[in-house]
Every structure is written in structure tokens, then in C-alpha cells.
Amino acid sequence: MGSNGKAENHAAELNDIISTLILPDAHSSYAESSYVIFGVPFDGTSSYRKGSRFSPNRIREAYDNLESFDPRYGTNYGEQGICDLGNLQVSENVEEVINNVEAVTGLIVKDGKIPIILGGEHSITVGAIRSFPEAYMIIVDAHSDFRNEYMGNKYNHACVTRRSLEILGRERIASIGTRSVSQEEFESEAFSEVRFIFADEVRKNGIASVIDEITSRSNGRNIYFSIDMDGIDPAFAPGVGTPEPYGLLHTDVRDLINAFAGRIVGFDIVEITPLYDNGNTVMLAAKLIQDFIGSRSKLSVKK
């Protein structure tokens, strides 16, 4: 049901299962929106520094310190059709949370809108990617997350790339910024079915070469874009659940977003732990959301 009681979209159903604090610049109603934000405050399988459950609201608070106008894109974000549904109500059961993320993402996609998901831990991405079985997936991540199970759970945050491969199939995922892989993962027969682009490779060849390679590999498909903030070097993003040195530049990630924004149909930012942050990580996450929307706005102006 729409906001006027018309059975034109799923606004009422979504409002029943999601609660409040919203992103500044999210001035549009659900019915009028192009981008629909929701938070998933879940960190039930986190294995090192817990606390990513606090990050959806911390990202929103950081965003409040950004200007609504961005000269880089010539964009006023308050005019871009952003709706923020608030945070998903979560349980302690990761499978239940993933199923709920799938349900909410599916409704948003059916209504012709682009979901922007604020994590929470990376396990939630499995629920989102289920709504995009034909897409190509770009992951920014320090870790391969390719374990078949971890701590007795195949939906642990350390298994998200493996579960995504099962949904999308071989040659449909590029994970960029890798620098931590277990021997078990590395020796898995399926490891080569994902293109892991190590951070050292990015430094050696440049982000432009990565963009060219993904452009070729993705064959024009729609793209689901997942940012685990630990993919970015801790100098720029210190407040993450599992930090790893020698990461990507923050501008590398911005360049990836700029390059593929016109094809991105779903977007998430995960694995921020505000308790360990100096404020830089949530601020960068907020800015990357603007970069995504601003990139698409600039493309639409060109058309």
C-alpha cells in the first residue's frame, strides 16, 4: 500500500518492520524516492572487534556534517530522491537477519528503487545479493571471506564471498583490496572462481587497470557493490571490526564507485565499529554514499 492507501508499492509493509532515525538529505517519501536507505544493526557473528551494530546511526550522524551540495558532481543531495526507512529490527539469529534483509531488499527492488544498506557486519550482504541473482558483484574487502564455514556457522561474516558465489556463480564476483587469506581458502578449488584483486596488485598497476579489467569481466551486467570498510587502509578507516594494514586508498574506492555508478543497482557499507573509530571511518562511509548518489546524478545530467 502506498502512503495514500493505494496498492501501488510496498511502503506501508516496509514501515511496519523498520524503525526511525533518518539520514540528512533523505527528504523524499518512499513513493517518490529513487534511493532507499535502511540500516541493519547486527554484529552477531563478528569475531574480533564487535560493535558494528552501532554504525548505521553513527553514519547518519556523521553525514549531518557534510554539505548537501557537492561541486564535484554539481549535485544537491536533498533533491535526489532519497528515502531513509530507519533500521531493520534484528534478532540474534544470523540466518533470520539475512532472510529479513532479503525480504526488505526484494520489496525495494520490486518497487523500482535502489537499496543502500548500512551495516552491521558483512554477513548481511548475503541477504541483499539474493535479490540480484543476475548481477555482477564488486566487493571491497581486506579479507577473502571465502571460508565454507567459520565458528560452526556457514553464514558467518567470514563466509560472505563463498555464499555469494553460490548465488551468482563463477566469474561473477571481483573482490578488491584482498590482503588476508587463510591457507584453507587459498587452496580451495573454488577460490579461482572469484577474481581476488590483491591490494598490492592495485598499488602496482593502479586503480584504472582494475576498472578496465572489471569492465571487461562484467560484460555490461548490473552491479551490486559491497564495501567492507576494512578494505580501505586503516590510515583512512581505522574503526573497523578486523583491521588489516596495507589497504586501498580511500580515493581508489571513490574511483571505483565513479566508474560503475551508472550500473550499480544495490549498494552496502559494512563492518564499521564506532567504538574503535576516531570519527574518520563513519565520515568516509557517509561521503562514499554521497559519491555513489552524486555519480549517478552527474550521469543523468549528461544524458
217-233 residues labelled b (16+ CB within 10 A) or e (exposed): ebeebebbbbbbbbbbb
Least confident among 39-43, 139-143, 228-232:
39-43
C-beta atoms surrounding 71 within 10 Å: 8
Residue-level pLDDT at 293: 97
Domains of the chain are 11-302 (3.40.800.10)
Residue-level pLDDT at 10: 79
Phi, psi of 204 (to 5 degrees): -70, -45
Residue-level pLDDT at 158: 85
Dihedral over Cα of 93, 98, 100, 101: its sign: positive
Coil vs helix vs strand at 286: helix
Residue-level pLDDT at 301: 53
Q: How far apart are CA 46 and CA 155, in angstroms?
A: 11
Mean pLDDT of 122-146: 96
Residue-level pLDDT at 2: 35
Q: How far is CA 65 from CA 50, 234, 282, 286, in A?
A: 25, 22, 11, 9
Coil vs helix vs strand at 301: helix
- The overall average pLDDT reported for the chain is 92
Q: Are 178 and 196 in contact (CB under 8 A)?
A: yes
Mean pLDDT of 17-33: 85
Q: Are 116 and 84 in contact (CB under 8 A)?
A: no
Q: Taking 80 as the threshold, does the pLDDT of residue 46 lie above it?
A: yes
Grid cell at residue 76? 544537491
All residues at 6 or more sequence positions from 6 whose CB lies less than 8 Å from its CB, including other chains: none
Condensed to tens digits (0 to 9), the pLDDT of residues 53-106 reads 999 999 999 999 999 999 999 999 999 999 999 999 998 999 999 999 999 999
pTM of the model: 0.91
Condensed to tens digits (0 to 9), the pLDDT of residues 233-272 reads 999 999 999 999 999 999 999 999 999 999 999 999 999 9
Residue carrying the nine cell digits 525495494 = 108
Confidence of residue 4 (pLDDT cuts 50, 70, 90): very low
**Whole-number percent of the chain with pLDDT over 90:** 83
Q: Taking 80 as the threshold, does the pLDDT of residue 170 lie above it?
A: yes
Confidence of residue 230 (pLDDT cuts 50, 70, 90): very high
Query: Measured over all CA atoms, what is the biggest interatomic distance in the chain, rounded to whole angstroms?
Result: 56
Beta bridge partners of 36: 83, 115
Output 94 or 14, whichever has higher pLDDT. 94
Q: How far apart are CA 45 and CA 47, in angstroms?
A: 6
Q: How far apart are CA 184 and CA 40, in angstroms?
A: 30
